[in-house]
Amino acid sequence: MTAATLTAGPARGARGGAAARVVRGVLHRLLPLVVLVACWEGATRASGSVFFPPPSKIVKRMREMWLSGPPSHLYFSAEAGDSIAPSLGRMALALVLSVIAGVVLGIALGRSERVLAYLQPLMQFARVIPPPTLVPVFIVLFKLGTEMQVASIVFSAIWPVLLNTADGARSVDPMQMATAEAFRFSAADRIRYVIIPASLPKIFAGLRLALSLSLILMVFSELLPGTSDGLGFELTNAQSQSDLPTIWSVIVLLGVLGYLFNTILLAVERRVLSWHRGARKADS
């Protein structure tokens, strides 16, 4: 209701109407969240439980911890540099490695019937192993710290990318491959201009899964011994001091980051795959 009255005034003409609709849509979607947070605030204040600090307190703690720095650092504090930056750095590195390795191996597998037939059962098996159970193995195999953490993330994030790419590469339209063959595209051109674009819708689907898995594994790998920084480390640290506002701050931050990354990825996907939506619409 508030949204409607807010935007009804300037909503004149086609353009204003569309803009108003967008604003109204966003406000409508945010409304449940606002209501929920308000209720939570009220409930936690009324109960006064130390385990459930009110949202206002969590936000205040988040600001103190991470956004109390000088303007020259975009207000990020030194602590943000010690906990958020290393976590995101490792996650980004691991995600890049997973995508590169996953796409390369996926194409090799998808375009070679025999290799795929041999490795498919093995991969399906490896894929269903819950990645956290392998973290102890990685602790033994790799150096504690960044190396082990990145390996843990890669091992879980690579599967959706690899399997989706293989699936996409295998199901490239035979007519498109025949065209590439008839015009004698080089192997590199075939991959770059035919196989990868044709697999891209599947690759993106894998990427979305890889993204959420890597966020989970990022935190999980930092909860283990041998960690000296990162959000997971901050979490264990706060837990040992029963610092509940900090624990909740990290949780909220992880939620915000997950949402943010997913939104960014979706926006990129919309841009990169606009041909795909168009072609599908034209087909139907």
Partner 1 sequence: MLEISGLGHAYGTHRVLEGIDLKVGEGELVTIVGPSGCGKSTLLRCIAGLVPPTEGKVVLKGAPIDGVPDDLAVVFQDYSRSLLPWLTVRDNVALPLRRRGLGKAERRAQAVKALASVGLEDAAGKYPWQLSGGMQQRVSIARALAYKPTLMLMDEPFGSVDAQTREDLEDLVLQVHRAEGMTILLVTHDIDESVYLGDRVVVLARNPGRVRDELPVTLPAGRDQIGTRADAEFVRLRAEVGRLVRGVVKDSEPPDATDAEDADAEAVATAVEEPAKK
Shortest Cβ distance from residue 192 to partner 1 (Å)? Answer: 10
Shortest Cβ distance from residue 109 to partner 1 (Å)? Answer: 22
Shortest Cβ distance from residue 14 to partner 1 (Å)? Answer: 23
Contact 66, 76 (CB under 8 A): yes
> Quick count: other Cβ atoms within 10 Å of Cβ 221?
30
Tokens of 82: 């010690």
Which of 76/193 has CB closer to partner 1? 193
Shortest Cβ distance from residue 196 to partner 1 (Å)? Answer: 10
Which of 147/173 has CB closer to partner 1? 173
Q: Is 274 exposed, middle or buried (0-12, 13-18, 19+ CB in 10 A)?
A: exposed
Contact 153, 214 (CB under 8 A): yes
Which of 113/181 has CB closer to partner 1? 181
Per CB under 8 A, residues contacting partner 1 are: 173, 175-176, 178-179, 181-186, 189, 193-194, 197-198, 200, 275-276, 278-279, 282-283
Shortest Cβ distance from residue 96 to partner 1 (Å)? Answer: 23
Spatial CA neighbour of 33 closest among 55, 12, 49? 55
User: What is the Cβ-side half-sphere exposure of residue 173, based on CA atoms within 13 angstroms?
Assistant: 7
Which of 147/189 has CB closer to partner 1? 189
Which of 125/183 has CB closer to partner 1? 183
Distance from C-alpha of 72 to C-alpha of 64, rounded to nearest angstrom: 17
